[in-house]
Amino acid sequence: MKNGELVIDADGHILEPPDLWERYLEPQYRDRAIRLKRDDEGWEYLEIDRKPSRYCARGALTRLGSMGRQIEQMKERRELWKAGKIDRPFIALSPDEGYTKDLAFGAMDPNERVQRLDQEGLSKAVIYPTIGIMWEPECPDVELTYAYCRAYNRWIADFCRDSGGRLVPIAHISLADPKMAAAELERAVKDGCKGAFCIPFTLTRKPHGHPDHDPIFAACQDLDIPLGFHPNGTEPSDLTLHQRYDGMKGPARVWYSDMFVGAGTQMPFATLFVYGVFDRFPKLRVVVLESGAGWIGWWLDRADNLYKGTILGGALPLREPPSYYFARQCYISADPDEQRLALIADSVGADKFFWASDFPHSDHPGNYMEELEELVQKMSPQAARGILGENVARVYRLN
């Protein structure tokens, strides 16, 4: 990027230290802390409320922190597999590997992360968790859920506090109890958090846009912070989109699920229109994260056409077509390898898009700065400035 250009990563991640919840939980909950442990075969696993995780498969945490790692080895294995010399291209993990064994520079240490921003020419990074996007489906205890959220939110505020505003903390909230969520939002924002995120499904099975969640929308509006929908690392089998077929297992199933991760956030986003949230909260800002952005063009066309041109449109309690509210209150983050985004950015609204690295997670390649440079070269100057950093700075009120 050019010197002096405002470039902000809208969705970077951090690998939380394994003892975060033991250190930051209130004393009465510490014996029920989230922990990393190893089983009898030496495999690392996630423990939630004294129980092994059902959905975070062994090795999953190791793989999450491996952006760019073993890419060349994978390419070599693919060629060997094509030649019939090995039985599969995938690189298997082993029990001696672990969540913290092969950390990327800047993945867990705040000072390293700021140095990484300097190396990459980034002004700031908006920070989301790793373990923190995995535990919630396995914690039906509402009181403990909010204890976990408070612990993470206190920690991420501390993690970012001495970065001079370059690391931007985002609070994790649960929709399990909207009043508790609103109270935690107020506390977290006072502590320095610049926004909030929730996962794309609810254990209560209430749609995200349901009026019962109005205390959360009201709090975000009153506190002047955006609410993000971020994909979850694990999903219960009765709530996930990815359980329609039998037989897909292991790495291939992970690839399949990752291909359709965007559908998981499109659904809660759509419920905001079903329940007329944007009419009730005209200053609420909503961000769709880590789900790609190219789909938003056809999605808005489809939503508007159903609203304007079919009898189904009368079912929506909206004063205006969906695209009106998107233009007024909604934003979406794109992967920098979405080269076709340049074709739709100006037509949808150049001020609606962010870019995001997903660093250091393994389902994105490590050459995101090269891809970002290639993307913005295809865009109008206004759209390029917006997606590089101006849009996210405006939405999150970053100085």
pLDDT in tens, the chain (399 residues): 566 789 999 999 999 999 999 999 999 999 999 999 999 888 889 999 999 998 887 777 777 666 655 556 677 778 888 888 777 776 666 777 778 887 888 999 999 999 999 999 999 999 999 999 999 999 999 999 999 999 999 999 999 999 999 999 999 999 999 999 999 999 999 999 999 999 998 989 899 999 999 999 999 999 999 999 998 866 666 666 656 555 656 666 666 666 666 677 888 999 999 999 999 999 999 999 998 899 999 999 999 998 888 877 777 889 999 999 999 999 999 999 998 888 888 889 999 999 999 998 876 777 899 999 999 999 999 899 999 999 999 999 998
Determine the pLDDT at residue 314. 77
pLDDT score recorded for residue 76: 78
Indicate the residue type of 392.
V
Closest CA to 297 of 334, 264, 268, 260: 334
DSSP 363-385: TS-S-HHHHHHHHHHTS-HHHHH
3 state DSSP class of 74:
helix
Cα 326 from Cα 321, distance rounded (Å): 9
Tell me the CATH architecture of domain 8-30+103-395. Answer: Alpha-Beta Barrel (3.20)
Q: What is the DSSP letter of 314?
A: G
Helix, strand, coil percentages (3-state) for the chain, rounded to 5, are 45, 10, 45
pLDDT value for 367 = 85
**What is the per-residue pLDDT for 92?**
66
Q: What is the pLDDT of residue 277?
A: 97
pTM of the model: 0.91
Residue 394 DSSP SS3 = helix
CA–CA distance, 295 with 348 (Å, rounded to integer): 11
Domain edges within the chain: 8-30+103-395
Check if the beta carbon of residue 65 is closer than 8 Å to that of residue 104.
Answer: yes
Q: What is the pLDDT of residue 335?
A: 92
Query: Are the C-beta atoms of 139 and 48 separated by less than 8 Å?
Result: yes
